[in-house]
Amino acid sequence: MPYKVTVCGAAGGIGQPLSLLLKLNTDITDLALYDIVNVPGVAADLSHINTPAKVTAFLPDNHGLKNALADAQLVIIPAGVPRKPGMTRDDLFKINAGIIRDLATAAATYCPNAFMLIISNPVNSTVPIVAEVFKSKGVYNPKRIFGVTTLDVVRSSRFVSDIKNWIDPVAVRIPIVGGHSGPTIVPLLSQIEPAQDFTREEAEALTKRIQYGGDEVVQAKNGAGSATLSMAHAGARFAQAVIAATLRGEKGVVEPTFVALEADSANAAALQASVDGLDHFALPVELGPHGVERIHPIGSINAFEKELLAIAIQDLKGNIQKGVDFVAASK
């Protein structure tokens, strides 16, 4: 069955290794790579790999964005600028908000039914931007728009196995809820599978490391960008989860992701009430043939996690509204 995936920002630090991992995915038949620079070389290189996906390159000229997006079933967006030391993800809003708005406008026009996977920061604002653009074009379907928070999940599995070294980092699962920026990343260590006890000191240290894992990489790269290789892995993992549920019809595929809570209409009111009325939040999401199938509630959490959640909710209010206001002001 044909399955077209489009990567916007494909020549970047994330875009290149992500495109490589997607080229290795044999469910994908057509891999369209779009960027404003350098993408023909990336596509020529990847096109020599002997897997089924046909790789094509698109630059902005000659209706490149339109042709890259046309008939795409899945669009992944890692376009935009990354952080340098001393910056917050919100500092990227000034440049990335406009990039995401314009890419979302094109996607709403040329592939309105595609699953949209948003990597570009600040995710807490860029996802609401995509939602508002799709609404303004009359093609909004909250089941199909995802903020990719998988890197937080990947990191949490790895970091927990650093302190409990008998734990297999592949098997361990920690729900990460909230959003994707330091204080809004809330790991629910009390819900770790397989079950595990942490002292308060362990839980605090581990939580801090998960919340600020991105900063570790930004500092180590020392001005040359932020996480790219681990993000490519995380993005490919989330893309495969979406493909497994939507194309292959696999059941029980659950990944934490930042979504509009109205995507689960039966539970939206209760979900929103649990996060002080926020309309977007990262929670473990069960994926189905149409995208979001069911959003898992926060569940039972301890006093420490309640404190973290309260802080995350306050930050998220401003981040989400900033995205909404940006699109309103662009009209």
Ligand X SMILES: O=C(O)C[C@H](O)C(=O)O
As given in the structure block, the two tokens for residue 319 are 């981040």
Residue nearest ligand NAD, Cβ-based = 12
12 binds, among ligand X, ligand NAD, none (CB under 5 to 8 A by kind): ligand NAD
Q: Are 85 and 91 in contact (CB under 8 A)?
A: no
Single out the residue of 193, 304, 294, 194 nearest to residue 252, CA to CA: 294
Q: Are 159 and 167 in contact (CB under 8 A)?
A: no
Choices 9-17, 20-28, 210-218, 264-272 (CB under 6 A): range interacting with ligand X: 210-218
The secondary structure of 62-102, three-state, reads CCHHHHHHCCCCEEEECCCCCCCCCCCHHHHHHHHHHHHHH
Note whether 143 binds ligand X by CB under 6 A.
Answer: no
Site for ligand X in 112-141 (CB under 6 A): 121
Choices 76-84, 109-117, 193-201, 264-272 (CB under 6 A): range interacting with ligand NAD: 76-84
> How far, in Å, are 101, 149, 194, 212 from residue 181 at the CA level?
20, 10, 26, 8
Find the shortest distance in angstroms from Cβ 89 to ligand X.
5
Within 13 Å of residue 76, how many CA atoms lie on the same side as its CB? Answer: 30
Note whether 217 binds ligand X by CB under 6 A.
Answer: yes
Active-site residue 48, yes or no? Answer: no
The answer to whether 10 is annotated as binding is: yes
Question: Most distant CA pair in the chain: distance in Å?
Answer: 59
Name the binding residues for NAD(+).
Answer: 9-15, 35, 96, 119-121, 231
Residues that bind ligand NAD (CB under 6 A): 8-9, 11-15, 34-37, 78-83, 92, 96, 99, 103, 119-121, 123, 148, 151, 180, 225-228, 231
Residues that bind ligand X (CB under 6 A): 82-83, 89, 121, 151, 180, 214, 217-218, 226-227
Name the binding residues.
Answer: 9-15, 35, 83, 89, 96, 119-121, 155, 231
